[in-house]
Structure 1
Amino acid sequence: MSITDRLAELGVTLGSPAAPAANYVPFVKSGATLYVSGQISNGPDGMVKGKLGADMDVAAGADAARLCAISLLEQVKAACDGDIERLKRVVKLTGFVNSTADFTDQPKVINGASDFLVEALGDAGRHARSAVSAASLPLGVAVEIEGIFEIE
């Protein structure tokens, strides 16, 4: 099954990727490796803001991480000239969780992105990963995730 068909089954349509908010590019291609800049938790209803361990629970954080994964795929599609089928695999994610000093479930939050990518891409969605805490994130968002991908 194609990536596009699998995303449609999951009720996900890839839209236009977000433009950079500062002096950087949204992605860099180097051979078959694609580096995608950090994508913040932003969805159809706007930015998902909050601090895990204070005003947001793990389930809501995982939902925010899923939104980041969708944004990553939007950037991959743009980098592949609109053809998401050129995506070969997710290599690595680095997830940043806006959380309190005593919150320790960052991996459970980033699972929202990891689980979605495996659901959408199968084995090609399995990846190496880091999940770390951040005292704050841009615009007060709950999650930011950057990714490395293999493309053709």
Structure 2
Amino acid sequence: MSGRIDARLKELGIELPAAAAPAANYVPYVVSGNMIFVSGQIPVLNGDIKFKGKVGTDITVEQGQQSARLCALNLIAQARQAAGGDLDRIVRVVKLGGFVACEASFTDQPEVINGASDLMVQVFGDAGRHARFAVGANVLPRNVATEVEAIFELA
């Protein structure tokens, strides 16, 4: 389908990745009422993990932001699938939850997860503004730098 959000993605030069299959015993998203709960997405593109290691040690904050942005692209891809292929059905990004692999002394998790938050606002405009958490973790699955989950509201 091609709608307002698809046109915005094209204008931004963004091509969404294919929605990834789950890597374990869970589903990629659940639709309950008018809400889509998307499982945590990692920085995978075409089956390849793009950002590994700890932010602030192995990769920079800027690379961490790129990692979080890629997680957000994967979130939107899952939301598109949950919305029957029509991103215009998404009326609000309700909440993001961001995890950043880092050492105990690292405190810039909010700046890293801004990579995901900024993308949501770029794509969905004011409807992309959301509640959020950003926390540090000593390690994330597959040694990824970031993982982000989301809740979207459907029309």
Given candidates 31, 43, 46, the residue that maps to 2:45 is: 43
Deviates more, 1:47-56 or 1:136-145: 47-56
Secondary structure, aligned partner of 1:150:
strand
TM superposition score normalised by structure 2: 0.94
Q: Distance in 2 between matches of 1:106 and 1:43?
A: 22
Instruction: Tell me the residue number matched to 2:120.
Output: 117
CA distance in 1, matches of 2:37, 2:59: 29
How many residue pairs match? The answer is 152
| Structure 1 residues without counterparts, runs of 5 or longer | none
In the aligned structure 2, how far is the partner of 1:41 from the partner of 1:15? 11
Percent identity between matched residues is 55
Inter-partner Cα distance in structure 1 for 2:89 and 2:17: 17
Give me the CA root mean square deviation.
Answer: 1.3
Structure 2 unmatched ranges of 5 or more: none
Q: Distance in 2 between matches of 1:74 and 1:115?
A: 16
Is 1:72–2:97 an aligned residue pair? no
Provide Cα deviations, 1:77-136, integer angstroms capped at 9, x if missing partner.
Answer: 000111111111100000000111111000000000001110111001000000000110
So what's the TM-score if we normalise by structure 1? 0.96
Equivalences for residues 11-26 of structure 1 within 5 A: 11-26=13-28
1:93–1:129 contact (8 Å) kept in structure 2: yes
Q: Deviations over 1:9-66 (max 9, x none)?
A: 1111223200001110000111111100000012358212120121111100000000
Please list every run of at least 4 consecutive aligned residues from structure 1 whose deviation after the TM superposition is greater than 3 angstroms.
none
